[in-house]
A = this chain, B = another copy of it.
Amino acid sequence: MSAKKPLNIGLIGCGFMGRAHSNAHAKVSHFFHNLAYKPVLKAICDVDETKAKAFADAWGYESVETDWRQLIARTDIDAIDICAPNNAHHDIAIEAANAGKIILCEKPLAMNVSEGKEMVQAVEQTGVANMVWYNYRRVPAVTLAKNIINEGKLGRIFHYRTMFLQDFTIAEDLPQGGPGLWRLDASVAGSGVTGDLLAHNIDTAMWLNGPITEVSAMTETFVKERKHVETGKKQPVGIDDASLFLARFANGSLATFEATRYARGHKALYTLEINGEHASIFWDLHDLHRLGYFDHRDESVVRGWRSIHVTDHDQPYMDKWWVPGLQIGYEHSFVHQMADFLRGLETGKPASPTFADALETQRVCEAVLESAKTRQWTPTGL
């Protein structure tokens, strides 16, 4: 019998993220052995009961709910994990906070800054532990990048550039709305690639390089109308298909950000590069287990970009997995984040990003959308 304290999870939403989080909860104790807490898959909640039951069967959830208010009302649930679409985050989070539940929320935090502020207020007033699933911070190569920066290896930073390129919405006959494609429906998603993709870039960027102070952005909707799956009719597309911006960080460095779902050939190419006085770093989600590193202090004739295969036991999180040379994948970033969250519960030092951290990303997203509309450089307030 395990001596670990159970953390009873109620998870809302059986989609892609529901699976990613459930996998994290199921696996974390297999690989992280010294944690005081152990997640228990107590309840799955989805408006679609059939789907929820199948999900419970596959993952071993002990019970099924179809109304998230019921789930929150249950006294046997310690933590609510929100994997519902963006427009549901606010209400669920506030009710969960008021019920004293721990809250894990899929990104982006909210539909906009205004909602986000209320959510932060709710968790701060009630004092519940909270976290937003900006999972890419916990890809070992990205964590390694953070460590390298923290050690001062880069020196003064001059440039940051980052992209998130996809190509899955190029077809004009792709509809908007519904379980699979709610990200194309502005009323559910809030925004397009700005909130869906750039939010990731922004979260990582500010974690690695500090606050973004101002932006100049442009957005575009290439396909102006798409059939809505609920109405069956062609409706204007309200989201941004592409979003690009120039930025200045508080540390004086300059940046380009770009996200699109119209970059043929790229499935989920999230890249980031940071150029410092002494060294540079490059990372790319399509080969997430590698980190590019260039150190100008290397002997000149043998200097070059290093391709670091981040699978050694002295590299972040990798002592928990296999042996050097054997790579892990996308899902492991969630396992790492859950491990860090559990450790935070234990030590009282909350794992980041908290709701408050995620609100800063939300501010930048909002400044981007504002700048694209006004065609003006826009301060983020950070």
Contacts and interface: CB of A to CB of B under 8 A. Distances in A.
Interface string A49-87: 000001001110000000000000000000000000000
B301 A144 contact: yes
Contacts of A375: 216, 376-377
Interface in A138-164: 144, 147-148, 153, 158-159, 161, 163
Nearest to A217: B246
Contacts of A170: 158, 277
Given A218-B248, A311-B267, A326 B329 contact: yes
B323 A158 contact: no
A33 B20 contact: no
Interface in A162-205: 163, 165-168, 170
Interface string A369-382: 00000011100000
A92 B198 CA distance: 49
Number of this chain's copies in the complex: 4
Please classify how large the interface on chain A is, using the bins under 10, 10 to 19, 20 to 34, 35 or more.
35 or more
Nearest 4 A/B pairs, CB to CB: A268-B325, A267-B325, A265-B294, A304-B306
Interface of A: 1-2, 16, 20, 22-23, 26-27, 29-31, 33, 54, 57-59, 144, 147-148, 153, 158-159, 161, 163, 165-168, 170, 216-218, 220, 222, 242, 244-246, 248, 254, 256, 258, 260, 262-269, 275-280, 285-291, 293-296, 298, 300-309, 311-312, 314-315, 321-332, 375-377
